Structure 1
Amino acid sequence: MEKQYGKNKDKLEKLLWSIALPGFGQLLNGKYLKGIILITLEFVVNVFGHFNQIILLSFNGNISEAIEQTNYQWLMFYPCLYFFAMWDAYNDAEGESKPYAFMPFVFSAYFVTVGLIYSQTFTIFGHLIGPVWLPIIFLNFGLLIGGAIRWVLLKRLEKGHNT
């Protein structure tokens, strides 16, 4: 007997596993080659960008050292890889597909990348925020702007269907 899920529980499950590690959602969706490729890319970018070391340093308040350790040429690939993997896992999962659902993912990838670019010099109240925390702050702008653009597009789509 097959499990009964809520309308989009499967989508949420795949999205959350993809947040845990890009590629996991694809594996759960049965997209094994894509999942293995995404996991491999995640490890390559993580290692060459020194991301785990940067996370450890940032969580311990060593922001200047985290900036010094960052290989920006590699780490700038991470946001697009990460958000694409999340969107792809969500998109391929069972459940209702909603129009323009990709918008918050796309704009999040863009804004997190911009946050990473400015993380070497951007300060708040004279304190460097660094390559972990500034992209996380910028993520909120990506989610808001992507969500707002999606909302506008949905309203236009709805208006087009009502005429």
Structure 2
Amino acid sequence: MNKNTLEKLVWSIAFPGFGQLLNGKYIKGIFLIFLEVIVNVQSNFNSAILSSFLGDISTSIEQVNFQWLLFYPCLYFFSMWDAIKDANKGRDTSPLLFLPFVFSAYFVTVGIMFSTKITIFGVLLGPIFLPMLFVIPGVVIGLLLRKILLLFRQ
């Protein structure tokens, strides 16, 4: 991944839509920013993040609107993938690059759904930290599946 592509990915991680703005895709970028703000506000995501980082998981669970929060992973990971795709100007420099992003979105969504039930070493991680942990198997499975499919493609 070149420096230019990495820059767009990191800006998309910081805020969905920023990578698109850097790529000159202004309408798409503004639309993604608009969607991110709506989902963020409607889900009370920032309040839940604050409570979680302060160690108050039960308040985080009470604050978050799960119906809205379930939209966030797809929006977030799509924004990252799209910024990389546009940074490469549509060239297929990395076939099946979408797989780690798609599987991360799936796993984070599942992590949100089970975030009030699953404990790790007896600790309830809640709707912020458990989904963050679920990114890891999503990326690993996506990369593994991508590697397998690319072997069969050759």
Normalised TM-score (structure 1): 0.90
Q: Among 95, 114, 125, which residue is 1:129 paired with?
A: 125
Deviation at 1:9, TM superposition (A): 1.6
Q: Among 75, 79, 92, which residue is 1:85 paired with?
A: 79
Greater CA radius of gyration, 1 or 2?
A: 1
Deviation at 1:125, TM superposition (A): 2.2
- The residue aligned with 2:28 is 34
Counterparts of 1:9 and 1:15 in 2: how far apart (Å)? 10
Counterparts of 1:135 and 1:56 in 2: how far apart (Å)? 15
**Aligned residue pair count:** 152
Counterparts of 2:63 and 2:88 in 1: how far apart (Å)? 40
Per-residue deviation, residues 20-71 of structure 1 (Å, max 9, x unmatched): 1000000010100000000000000000000000110000110011001110
Per-residue deviation, residues 85-125 of structure 1 (Å, max 9, x unmatched): 00000000037621001100000000000000000111112
Structure 1: runs of 5+ lacking an equivalent: 1-6, 159-163
Q: Report the AA paired with residue 48 of structure 1.
A: Q
Identity %: 61
Structure 1: 4+ residue segments shifted above 6 A: none
The reply on whether 1:51 has 2:45 as its aligned counterpart is yes
